[in-house]
Amino acid sequence: MELLDFVTTQKRVWEAKLPLPRQVLVRDRKELDRACKKLHFPLAMKVIASAFVHKSDAKLVRTGLLDHKDTVQAYVELLRHARKADAHAAIEGLLVQEMARGTELILGVKRDPSFGPVIMAGLGGIFVEVCKDVSFRVCPITRRDAKAMLSELKGKTLLEGVRGTPKADLAGLSSIMVRLSKLALKHPEIAEIDLNPVLVDAKTIRAVDVRMLVADSGVRG
Ligand code: ADP
Ligand code: MG
C-alpha cells in the first residue's frame, strides 16, 4: 500500500467536510513568508512526501513555532532532516498549520475482507498504544452509532470534561464520524484512512494529520 498524494487526499477531505486546521502547503521560502502572514501563530510544520508515512519518527514535524524567525529555522531544519532520511524522496511541500488544542482522538477506517469498511474510534496517545482503548463499527454508521462508539471508550471521561480538560463537542464529532464512514463506502479505492490525531475541545475539532492509503496499483482520481 502507498500513501495517496496530498492534493487527492485534500479533495477527499473537502468532500467529506472533515475539519482541518487553517493550513498552507508551501514549496519555497517565498510561499513560507506568505503563509506566516496569513496564519496565526503558534504554528506547526511538517514534511509531506509519500516516502514519509510516519513523519515524527524521521524528525519531520515541528510544533509550537512562535514567530516568523522560528518558522524559517524550522523550515531549513525539516528539509535537512528529510534529505537525511531519504535523499531521493519527492517532497510535495511543507505543510504549515495553525496549532490546534484539545483532547487527541484517533479516527480511522480499515477494510475487512468480510465486513467491508470498518470505522474505528479511540483516544490518542497512550490510550490507543497501551490500553488498546478503541471501538469499531461496520460502515456506514448513524450519529447514534457514533455516540455509542465514543461512550464505549474506557477513557471517555477525558471527553466529558474532567479536571482541566474541556467537555468535547461530541455532537460535532459524531457527524464527522458519520461522514467519514460514508466517504469510505463511496471510495473503494481508498484502502485505509487515518485521522491521527483529531484534536477536540468544546468548540473546535481539527484533523491535524490525515493519511489515506491506496493499493499500489490503485485507481486514483
Ligand atoms: P506523524 O503522525 O506522521 O508523525 P503528525 O502530523 O501527526 O505526524 O504530527 C505528530 C504530532 O504532532 C501529532 O500527533 C500532534 O500531537 C502534534 N501536532 C501536529 N500538528 C499539530 C497541530 N496543527 N496542532 C497541534 N498539534 C499538532
Ligand atoms: Mg499523526
Report the alpha-carbon distance of residue 125 to residue 166 in Å, rounded. Answer: 18
Could you tell me whether strands 91-98 and 43-49 are parallel, antiparallel, or unpaired per DSSP bridges? antiparallel
Q: Give me ligand 1 centre to Cα 115, in Å.
A: 31
Residue 217 pLDDT level (bands cut at 50, 70, 90): low
| Residues 136/120, Cβ–Cβ less than 8 Å | yes
Residue 194 pLDDT level (bands cut at 50, 70, 90): very high
Residue 34 pLDDT level (bands cut at 50, 70, 90): very high
Going by alpha carbons, the residue nearest to atom 22 of ligand 1 is 99
Q: Give me ligand 2 centre to Cα 61, in Å.
A: 10
Report the alpha-carbon distance of residue 110 to residue 131 in Å, rounded. Answer: 20
Angle 101-55-174 from CA coordinates, rounded to 5°: 40
Indicate whether residue 61 lines ligand 1 (CB < 6 A): yes
Say what percent of the chain tops pLDDT 70. 97
Instruction: Give, in order, the Cα–Cα distances in Å from 146 to each of 76, 112, 126, 141, 180.
Output: 42, 19, 22, 7, 11
Lowest mean pLDDT among 84-88, 138-142, 151-155, 176-180: 151-155
Could you tell me whether strands 103-112 and 23-26 are parallel, antiparallel, or unpaired per DSSP bridges? unpaired
Q: At what angle do helices 170-186 and 6-15 cross, to 10 degrees?
A: 120
Q: Give me ligand 2 centre to Cα 56, in Å.
A: 8
Query: Looking at the predicted structure, is the pLDDT value of residue 51 above 80?
Result: yes
Residue with cell string 468532500? 15
* pTM of this structure: 0.94
Average pLDDT over residues 38-51: 97
> What is the structure's pLDDT at 36?
98
Say what percent of the chain tops pLDDT 90. 86
Query: Looking at the predicted structure, is the pLDDT value of residue 218 above 50?
Result: no
Atom of ligand 1 nearest to the CA of 53: 3
* Residues in Cβ contact with 208 at an 8 Å cutoff, skipping those fewer than 6 apart: 20, 21, 44, 97, 100, 197, 198, 199
Q: Give me ligand 1 centre to Cα 113, in Å.
A: 31
**Pick from 82, 26, 88: nearest CA to 57:** 82
Query: Looking at the predicted structure, is the pLDDT value of residue 23 above 60?
Result: yes
For the CA of 53, the nearest ligand: 1
Query: Looking at the predicted structure, is the pLDDT value of residue 221 above 70?
Result: no
